[in-house]
Amino acid sequence: MILYFSATGNTRFIAKELASRLDDECLDLLKRIREKDYSPITSDKPFVVCVPVYVCEIPPFIIDLIRNTPFEGNKNIYFVFTSGGYSGICSTMAKRLARKKGLNYMGSADFKMPRNYIANSTYPELSEEEIRHRIDVSYKHIPEIARLIKDEQKLVKLSKHVWLFEILITVPFTPVWTRIKQGVKRFSVSDKCIGCRKCANLCPLKVIRADEKGRPVWDARMCAHCMSCIQNCPVEAIEYGDITPPKKRYTFERYGITKTPKP
Ligand SMILES: Cc1cc2nc3c(=O)[nH]c(=O)nc-3n(C[C@H](O)[C@H](O)[C@H](O)COP(=O)(O)O)c2cc1C
Ligand code: SF4
Ligand code: SF4
């Protein structure tokens, strides 16, 4: 069973490609995350959890869901991370999570994909060429990982090694960073909004409420900054302060890349 969360399509792409090669089911976790639905998930095949990296870690709402959801059937669990190039301490977190659930940790794999985070100015925007290059390289990497999972072999050296110093830096750093940087105050919506409610329906934390015209109202102080609302708006009506107006939007689907699954 392939389980995934994806805000802008990178992880969905990898998850679906894996599912097709493994001839396995693919479960989008968005609804479960939104509803805090912790009902059991059963699979005869190994569990493969595919998630994006947020601030060097597995996003807290994913940890919460996996920790509280009984996984029944197969005892093996794999993790697949998509990131902009640095998966931080995710594989260590995954190993710990598997152990706590009483499952066999079978390893993690990293995919370097286009970066979707546009609410700060730290990184330069990627060129179209670089975006397509990253997707192509990742695509070529999929069959090897699918084969190992199919044979229920361990994934060795397919994710970065986590050094102790990374854990010592990340564990205190990430909560501080998220508290300072992941407020919702700077989100705004322009007159371009057509009231389609897509942003409200996609928000994994249900932070967005649609007003009577269907326009978004951010109803909390903080959020996951997953970028789903801002990146998936069909008319680019959402902005984040003065950072995003000059920036191009990114979703995997926008690139119209359809790879033919090769079983
Ligand atoms: C809140 C947030 C934090 C992120 N932190 C990291 C990070 O620490 N390292 C990294 O390489 N990419 C980071 N990224 C980039 C995403 O992990 C990457 O683009 C991922 O493939 C997005 O997956 P999705 O399209 O399935 O949502 C971050 C993105 C977001 C939204
Ligand atoms: S997705 Fe965009 S157009 Fe649709 S309601 Fe949200 S802001 Fe408005
Ligand atoms: S409000 Fe925050 S958590 Fe919700 S979709 Fe937008 S960025 Fe993601």
Give the domain CATH number at 75: 3.40.50.360
Tell whether 102 and 218 lie within a shared domain.
Answer: no
Q: Residue 195 sits in which domain range?
A: 183-240
Ligand 2 centre distance from Cα of residue 230 (Å): 9
| Spatial distance between the Cα atoms of 70 and 42, rounded to a whole number of angstroms | 8
Nearest of 166, 114, 96, 126 to residue 247 by alpha carbon: 126
Tens-place pLDDT, residues 124-148 = 899 999 999 999 999 999 999 999 9
- Flag whether 30 is in a domain: yes
Q: Which ligand is nearest to the CA of 181?
A: 1
Domains held by the chain: number: 2
Ligand 2 centre distance from Cα of residue 196 (Å): 5
Tell whether 155 and 187 lie within a shared domain.
Answer: no
Is residue 207 within 6 Å of ligand 3 at its C-beta?
yes
Nearest of 149, 28, 20, 11 to residue 82 by alpha carbon: 11
Model pTM score: 0.95
- Flag whether 175 is in a domain: no
Is residue 55 within 6 Å of ligand 3 at its C-beta?
no
- Dihedrals φ, ψ of 39, to 5°? -70, 150
pLDDT tens for each residue of the chain, 263 residues long: 999 999 999 999 999 999 999 999 999 999 999 999 999 999 999 999 999 999 999 999 999 999 999 999 999 999 999 999 999 999 999 999 999 999 999 999 999 999 999 999 888 899 999 999 999 999 999 999 999 999 999 998 888 899 999 999 998 888 888 888 888 999 999 999 999 999 999 999 999 999 999 999 999 999 999 999 999 999 999 999 999 999 999 999 987 666 655 54
- Bridge partners (DSSP) of residue 216 are 210
- Flag whether 257 is in a domain: no
Longest dimension (CA), the chain: 53
| Residue nearest to ligand 1 atom 22, measured at CA | 52
Tell whether 70 and 154 lie within a shared domain.
Answer: yes
Is residue 209 within 6 Å of ligand 2 at its C-beta?
no
Tell whether 222 and 107 lie within a shared domain.
Answer: no
